[in-house]
Chain A
């Protein structure tokens, strides 16, 4: 069943008197308890899409058109007060750098309790404390009694990210949006955090949207992968299908630039030539065409997202290769 439905979302930024579209007609659905990874380069619009879902866009950005609904109710039409109940209570966000996303002046317990008090008030002090301990154990923090009394700067990077996830879980959300939660961490800790998110999703039946620029971390995490480029979805496919046979040249290029364990060791990692287009000056037609090896005259017209089997692709050449 579709829990979160985003359709035809257009987000624009005001820049030097102009409106620059950063998200251009994004549609996707998230089923209850499923895990979706949104992948793309910086500036592809993946984070902006996530911020739009929780209506936390910066003041220079505005949602031009489209709709976002949670369990059938429209989020864009809600008054701000009701939106505050939804944030953290039903849709929670975890941000990139846990050191800056936790307030340095409060202990971990105070920060978890702030969210608890907001969304799931407990009767007694003991019950609140027990709930905090429970959340700390759920995110795999050892010696939780002691860590609860720590300030953010006293914890290691991985532990901070776990603590931040604990604050996000405090409101018992149905959907967790994690915006590059592993970027500030080293590789082994990255894997642990992704594992943790997958386990929490399974245990709690919580849907997760993982936003990342690293296809490597999503392989055994996501049910589905949404690939974004220049503000559009270029491919949306079940994870195994995407890794098996990417349909969009951009997805293929992304996969190609992943280091492989069993490939030749001395191979130079391929990279995608050129740079993503400036959203203020997009090329006519397919945005990826200037960097695409398979571009033809056809690509002067913008491809639409078409459904092919279990996936959606926006490429004139999809299915012909």
Chain B
């Protein structure tokens, strides 16, 4: 009976219909995940509100306070070689990285997941077309295509004319110059998710409870949304958590070669690369954004793990 107790059955009446509340409750029992989620929220809120509490702008240069170490007179995190405040740059960098990561997640969930479900459920030619496209996308040299797309868009934004260029320009203003990054995310980031979900769908479809649900009158929509998608949550969460750092690195790589964020705007990746130029003399300049990057990735991982466990009633609660 211990498994029944530990699943919280004795903890008051929880109507089974309120699954989201139940999931939130199970999540909140996992301390590491809960703390990680809180920290992530804190970081994001700080970054997006930094204009309100910072005195210096990320682009303000001050030749008098170049390369100042952290915790000194020139701000909490010191300054870079142009005398720009590292804290202000870090906050702005987090914003861009979070935006890129969020968009990458959106692409995975809004394109990759439905495509994978459709291919896995329907099979036949839809499956063949979708999966051969996945193969093609995995075979092309990603960075090269990303550069081509990036250069093309940058050129359109800079000197293009016509409706397309106008649209790109307005998107570019909204996204602080990240348009090429977003386009590349749309082109590449549905791929692995579609393949994972498609495979998982095939597995779940073959399980007895799908047949049993059919035997009691469940239609295709119910099977896919209720049973298949729900049983794919674990691989989906893991995949999202794994691809978030890849998204941020993609943005960094593109920004570094000039088809991402335009200087002087920083992203976490840009700051890491810029700081690395001076790693022998001023290691903090690359360490600060690197540690932030690692921390965000780690926190995302913990939250993802907590979510996965909270969504799976067969895992023990607690640690």
B216 contact from A92, A105, A129, Cβ within 8 A: A92
Task: Report which of B15, B208, B215, B230 forms a contact with A97, defined as CB distance below 8 A.
Answer: B208
Q: Mark A93-124, 1 if CB is under 8 A from B, else 0.
A: 11111001111111101100111001100000
B9 with A149: CB separation less than 8 A: yes
CB of B212 within 8 A of CB of A93, answer: yes
In the complex, what residues of A have CB within 8 A of residue B216's CB?
A: 87-88, 92-93, 115, 118, 167-168, 170-171
The CB with the most chain B CB atoms within 10 A, among A93, A149, A153, is that of: A149
Report yes or no: B314 in contact with A85, Cβ–Cβ below 8 A.
Answer: no
Residues in chain A near residue B311, CB distance under 8 A: 105
Please give the distance in Å from B1's CB to the nearest CB on chain A.
Answer: 9
Q: Does any Cβ of A come within 8 Å of B138's Cβ?
A: no
Would you call A93 and B4 a contact (CB within 8 A)? no
Decide: B16 and A149 in contact? CB cutoff 8 A.
yes
Q: How far is the CA of A102 from the CA of B314 in the complex (A)?
A: 13
B226 within 8 A of A: yes
Asked if A63 is at the interface of the complex by the 8 Å CB criterion, the answer is no
Q: Does B127 contact A (CB under 8 A)?
A: no
Q: Are A125 and B314 in contact (CB under 8 A)?
A: no
Nearest-Cβ distance from residue A136 to partner chain B, whole angstroms: 12
Binding site for A on B (CB under 8 A): 3-4, 7, 9, 14-17, 19, 207-209, 211-219, 222, 226-227, 230-231, 311-314
Residue of B nearest to A168 (CB): B216
- Which partner residue on chain A sits nearest B212 by CB separation? A101
18 examples of A-B residue contacts, CB within 8 angstroms = A56-B214, A56-B215, A87-B214, A87-B217, A95-B215, A100-B209, A103-B209, A104-B314, A105-B230, A110-B16, A110-B17, A114-B213, A114-B218, A118-B217, A119-B217, A150-B4, A151-B314, A153-B314
Question: Assuming A103-B227, A104-B314, A150-B4, what are 17 further A-B pairs, CB within 8 angstroms?
Answer: A56-B211, A89-B217, A93-B216, A101-B209, A101-B212, A103-B213, A105-B230, A106-B230, A107-B313, A113-B17, A118-B216, A118-B217, A118-B222, A149-B14, A151-B314, A153-B314, A167-B212
Q: What is the CA–CA distance of A109 and B214 in the complex, to the nearest angstrom?
A: 18
A247 at the interface (CB under 8 A from B): no
Q: How far is the CA of A187 from the CA of B213 in the complex (A)?
A: 27
Do B231 and A105 touch (CB < 8 A)? Answer: yes
Check if A171 sits within 8 Å of B217, measured CB to CB.
yes
Q: Which range holds the interface residue count of chain A? A: 35 or more
Q: How distant is B90 from chain A, measured CB to nearest CB, in Å? A: 40
Residue from the set A93, A105, A125, A150 with the largest chain B CB neighbour count within 10 Å: A105
**What are the residues of chain A within 8 A of B17 when measuring CB–CB?**
109-110, 113, 125
Chain A nearest Cβ from B144, distance in angstroms: 41
Please tell me if the beta carbons of B217 and A154 are within 8 angstroms of each other in the complex.
no
By the criterion CB–CB under 8 Å, are A118 and B208 in contact?
Answer: no
Residue A197 lies at the interface, judged by CB distance under 8 Å to chain B: no
Query: With contacts A93-B215, A114-B218, A118-B217 known, is A101 near B314, CB below 8 A?
Result: no
Cα-based distance from A119 to B214 in the complex (angstroms)? 13
CB of B319 to closest CB in A, whole Å: 20
Are B211 and A85 neighbours in the complex by a CB distance under 8 Å? no
Bound complex: CA A102 to CA B209 (Å) = 5
User: What residues of A have a CB within 8 angstroms of the CB of B208 in the complex?
Assistant: 95-97, 100-101
Cα distance A291–B154 in the bound complex, in angstroms: 80
Residue of A nearest to B233 (CB): A105
- Set of chain B residues within 8 Å of A125, measured between Cβ atoms: 15, 17
> Do the beta carbons of B9 and A146 come within 8 Å of each other?
yes
**Alpha-carbon gap, A106 to B4, bound state (A):** 14
Given A87-B217, A118-B218, A148-B16, the answer on whether A154 and B212 have CB atoms closer than 8 Å is no
B contact residues around A54 at 8 Å (CB) = 215
Q: Quick check: B14 and A154 within 8 Å, CB to CB?
A: no
Residues of A within 8 A of B3 (CB): 153-154
Across-interface contacts of B211 in A (CB, < 8 A): 56, 95, 101
B314 CB contacts on chain A under 8 angstroms? 104, 151, 153
CB-CB under 8 A from B16, the residues of chain A are: 107, 109-110, 113, 148-149
Judge whether A164 is part of the interface by a CB distance below 8 angstroms.
yes
A113 cross-chain contacts in B, Cβ below 8 A? 16-17
Q: Is A214 at the interface (CB under 8 A from chain B)?
A: no
CB distance from A158 to the nearest CB of B (A): 16
- Least Cβ–Cβ distance between A133 and chain B, in angstroms: 12
Q: Which parts of A137-187 form the interface with B (CB within 8 Å)?
A: 146, 148-151, 153-154, 164, 167-168, 170-171
